[in-house]
């Protein structure tokens, strides 16, 4: 798959955003950049590394970036890592991948489910009902299967994946009815990622999928333009979707991962000390972020229940029924990413294909 570079127009827009962001980033506490660190500590630092973070300051992945920032600056006296939250430096895969390819930004945390336009490398992770539990999902991406996907991604995009941020199982909310089986999806208009695998999965279950922009989802749910959406519990609470939804079903249909992405050209331009600092800091940040994320999802479920949302937990048989209904999606994924890669990931997940 060819690398897809951003248009000149988008690059200009991002450059302007960076200039504005840099002015605003003088006050680190106000912008969220730096996690509230003292700006005086950066006075003697000559290199600026920019991180495009999608989430808010309290988002588990943003918290991971702040840990990464701290670890990098502890190891490299000349580097100032600046974390720009809430998508200030890009709200789409197109902007963030293009920004890293062109050296406008150095790091980003795009969901691996959102880069299907650029590469088929991570499609195996989108196979419906692939993972039975969190531990298996994490061990899969941390092992040889995860490395194989990252290698393919690098070839397709010239973006290096330093590791996988935890996002948690994706679950479905809606305002119409409890979902207790595949038949209950019938007629529901569900917002999902702009990813054909997700669209096919929901279609197979009988829903009407929508790819509404994330920023418009709350209003869409509130006004009834869409009936529901699917996301991890922490996102459902962070975005306040639960305030305008009546039902949550713990479908756990896909385990979500964000990537710790880094421009490969930038990486290759670093010296050995800097490369070592990046890799060590990434692993420490990922380990701690995963614990933060797991707790956030557990706390979010409690918040959703306390708000009066009806929560349905599916049995193994109910999930097996849904997996059967979406079996054709597994075939589609295998065809797109290659059967060898797909089988490697499926095997690591303890499944058969």
DSSP 129-151: T--SSHHHHHHHHHSHHHHHHHH
Residue 214: predicted pLDDT: 81
Please state the separation of Cα 204 from the chain's center in Å: 24
Task: Summarize pLDDT for 83-129 with one digit per residue, the tens.
Answer: 999 999 988 888 999 999 999 999 999 999 889 889 999 999 999 99
Query: Do 345 and 140 contact (CB within 8 A), yes or no?
Result: yes
Q: What's the pLDDT at 120? A: 94
- Could you tell me which residues come within 8 angstroms of residue 42 by beta carbon, excluding any fewer than 6 positions away? 80
| Domain 8-348 falls under CATH 3.40.190.170 | yes
Distance between CA atoms of residues 309 and 348, nearest Å: 35
How far is 30 from 300, CA to CA, in rounded Å?
26
Predicted TM-score (pTM) of this structure: 0.85
162 within 8 A of 262, measured Cβ to Cβ = yes
The pLDDT of residue 113: 86
Domain ranges for the chain, please list them.
Answer: 8-348
Q: Which residues of the chain have pLDDT under 50?
A: 1-2, 6-32, 40
**Is-contact 68 281, C-beta < 8 A?**
yes
Helix-helix angle 60-75:272-306, to 10 degrees: 160
């Amino acid at each position: 798959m060819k690398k897809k570079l951003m248009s000149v127009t988008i690059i200009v827009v991002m450059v302007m955003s960076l200039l504005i962001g840099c002015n605003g980033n003088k006050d680190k506490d106000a912008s969220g950049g730096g996690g509230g660190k003292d700006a005086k500590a950066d006075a003697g630092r000559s290199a600026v590394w920019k991180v495009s973070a999608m989430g808010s300051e309290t988002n588990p992945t943003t918290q991971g970036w702040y840990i990464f920032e701290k670890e990098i600056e502890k190891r490299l006296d000349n580097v100032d890592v600046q974390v720009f939250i809430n998508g200030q430096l890009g709200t789409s895969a197109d902007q963030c991948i293009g920004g890293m390819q062109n050296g406008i930004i150095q790091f980003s945390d795009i969901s691996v489910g959102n880069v299907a336009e650029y590469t088929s490398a991570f499609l195996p992770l989108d196979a419906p009902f692939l993972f039975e539990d969190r531990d298996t999902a994490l061990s899969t991406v941390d092992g040889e299967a995860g490395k194989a996907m990252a290698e393919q991604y690098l070839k397709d995009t010239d973006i290096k994946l330093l590791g996988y941020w935890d996002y948690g199982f994706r679950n479905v909310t809606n305002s119409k009815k409890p979902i207790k089986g595949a038949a209950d999806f019938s007629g529901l208009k569900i917002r999902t990622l702009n990813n054909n695998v997700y669209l096919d999965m929901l279609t197979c279950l009988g829903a009407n999928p929508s790819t509404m922009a994330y920023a418009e989802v709350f209003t869409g749910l509130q006004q009834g333009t869409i009936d529901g959406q699917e996301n991890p519990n922490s996102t459902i609470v962070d975005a306040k979707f639960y305030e305008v939804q009546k039902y949550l079903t713990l479908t756990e249909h896909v385990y979500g991962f964000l990537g710790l992405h880094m421009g490969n050209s930038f990486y290759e331009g670093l010296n050995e000390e800097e490369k070592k600092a990046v890799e060590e800091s990434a692993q420490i940040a990922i380990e701690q972020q995963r614990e933060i994320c797991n707790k956030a999802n557990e706390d979010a479920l409690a918040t959703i229940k306390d708000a009066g949302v009806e929560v349905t937990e599916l049995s193994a048989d109910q999930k097996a029924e849904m997996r059967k209904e979406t079996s054709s999606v597994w075939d589609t994924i295998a065809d797109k990413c290659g059967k060898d890669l797909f089988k490697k990931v499926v095997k690591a997940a303890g499944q058969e294909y």
